[in-house]
Amino acid sequence: MDKFQLYAFADEAGSKMDTQIRALLRNGLNGLEIRGIDGENVSVITCDKAKEVRKKLDDNGLVTWSIGSPIGKIRLDEDFEAHQDLLRHTLDVANILGAKNMRIFSFYMPKDSDPSVHRQLVMDRMGKLLEIAEKSGVALCHENEKGIYGDTSIRCRDLLDTLPKLKGIFDPANFVQSGEDTIQAWERLKDRIYYLHIKDSLEDSCVVPAGLGAGNIPYIVKEYLARGDKAMTLEPHLVEFDGLKDLEESGDVSIVGKHFSYSSADAAFDAACAALKKILAEV
């Protein structure tokens, strides 16, 4: 396991931080990409709360690799000034937690509109987010969420080429759900990918354990590790969990539990970890 740095969205094991810590420890993970904390999104917790969480993690030898923020996951016609303030606060939280990375998105576009029409506004707003974060010591990392500007590999490439300070996250399941071949997407983006989200999906958009879907995760992980990279964040999405409905636009929630069922969120989290470890044992 020393060859890998494995993190997880541990709020999928349970909303309570103590539950998340237990899940991380029993699965031998290094820490977390922190998203939900005791029923609140990481972007809205107080700095005092962040200090409490940091102490718990430190006491258990765990680290916060990245902030699983909702920054950029708003419509282009929503209040961008308020969103900038949310970023500033979330950067403060990140620094308290010791996180050097923050997952962000590139804005929901109006339904059925031509993405090229919104390109300049997206780039301007992403540039402003990067400007705000520039002196924080926290890197902004773009995830290819479905339904946002950067939901295809071509538009992800556009973002990363236009905004050199932006880092890339590769989420195979999201590319599958956006109708992309993940190997082609990997080839297009791999030189700008900073770390991986381990989430797999079948072509019917149902999320499944890593390696059992159409995401070509074993191939991508092997390629990623071969170049000397180590960091991966597990995002199971195998059962419904607190906050799942808030992660996607207009209640368009990922399909979970269609092909696999688990007795609890803890059991689903452990199964997701086991699937990833199986892949790592074979690469």
For the chain, the domain total comes to 1
Phi, psi of 241 (to 5 degrees): -140, 165
Residues 260, 268: Cα–Cα separation, whole Å: 9
The predicted structure's pLDDT at residue 257:
66
Residue 108 gets which letter from DSSP? Answer: B
- CATH assignment of the domain containing 239: 3.20.20.150
| pLDDT tens digits for range 191-234 | 999 999 999 999 999 999 999 999 999 999 999 999 999 999 99
Token readout for 267 is 């059991």
- Ordered per-residue pLDDT tens for the chain, 283 residues: 568 999 999 999 999 999 999 999 999 999 999 999 999 999 999 999 999 999 999 999 999 999 999 999 999 999 999 999 999 999 999 999 999 999 999 999 998 899 999 999 999 999 999 999 999 999 999 999 999 999 999 999 999 999 999 999 999 999 999 999 999 999 999 999 999 999 999 999 999 999 999 999 999 999 999 999 999 999 999 997 665 555 556 556 567 667 788 999 999 999 999 999 999 999 8
The model carries a pTM of 0.94
Residues 6+ apart with CB under 8 A from 38: 15, 16, 17, 49
Domain that holds residue 109: 5-282
Query: Tokens 């999928």 map to which residue?
Result: 12
Residue 102 gets which letter from DSSP? Answer: E
